[in-house]
Chains A and B, each alone.
Chain A
Amino acid sequence: MIIVAAEIFGVPGIGRKILTASNNLAVDVVIAYILLMSLVYLVLDTGVEAIQKRVLAWR
């Protein structure tokens, strides 16, 4: 969400790609990059969870 917000003003990245594709009505590209963000989140979430299980094993 914030990635998209941060790239509204012209900095290149995933958010910028989504905004440009949205302006061009290329909804398939928009959804493809939304899926990419979901995949990145999935990887991060799994990573953080694995770290938590190791570091906070007592929990």
Chain B
Amino acid sequence: MSTELETDLDTDLGGERGGRRLVLGAVGVAGFVAVWWVASLFNPDYVLPPPDAVARTFLGELRSGAMVVALAQSVTHWLPGTIVGTVLGIALGVTLAYSDLADDVAAPIVRLLRPIPPLALIGFAIAWIGINDGGAAFIIAAGALWINYYAAYGGVDSVPDEFVDVARSLGVTSDLELVRKSCSPLRRRRSSPGSEPASGAVG
């Protein structure tokens, strides 16, 4: 126990182990850039430009404001898409994991829809919403939905029955209260990691 705590503190507070990781990480990045630079010597710029050319382009785009504009445009549909997908995914995952009836009814539909890649939904996005931020947000929401759905579902599903029984015997009667008091604190152990890949998938 104390060893784990010391290791965590060491890493978090930038101790010897944290410092070593930083140095090794910097070496890794430097090695990657070196390999990239060497590879660029044997390729034309339109195949693999050298790192310094990319750095100049990056700064040029940043200074001209084009990069900030593109980022703002992406955030305009990324943010609502991620929020809608995350909220719906968690709500759906908690509901289906909590209710056997809902799970039995929805399981075939979930299995049918899950393998559809967001890219395949472009046609639907154009037909239903149009070529606008709403359409793009729809595709992003579809991508974020399943990640959060499976994380929330797994979290609630793994709550031991004994915990639910204890909650009931201590006076929790409504389903909503049971989810909130018994499942939710345990669910977060599993569902919160869903938000990380979800943000990564769309970011």
Contacts and interface: CB of A to CB of B under 8 A. Distances in A.
Contacts of B200: 41, 44-45
A14 B70 contact: yes
Nearest to A36: B67
B203 A32 contact: no
A6 B201 CA distance: 12
Indicate the size class of the contact surface on chain A: 35 or more
Pick from A11, A17, A33, A52 the residue with the most CB of B within 10 Å. Answer: A11
Interface residues of B, number: 46
A15 B46 CA distance: 19
Contact of A41 (B74, B137, B203): B203
Contacts of A8: 119, 122
Contacts of A3: 74, 78, 140, 202-203
A27 B192 contact: no
Given A2-B201, A32-B58, 11 more contacts: A2-B118, A3-B74, A3-B203, A5-B122, A11-B132, A11-B135, A12-B73, A13-B136, A28-B45, A28-B49, A56-B192
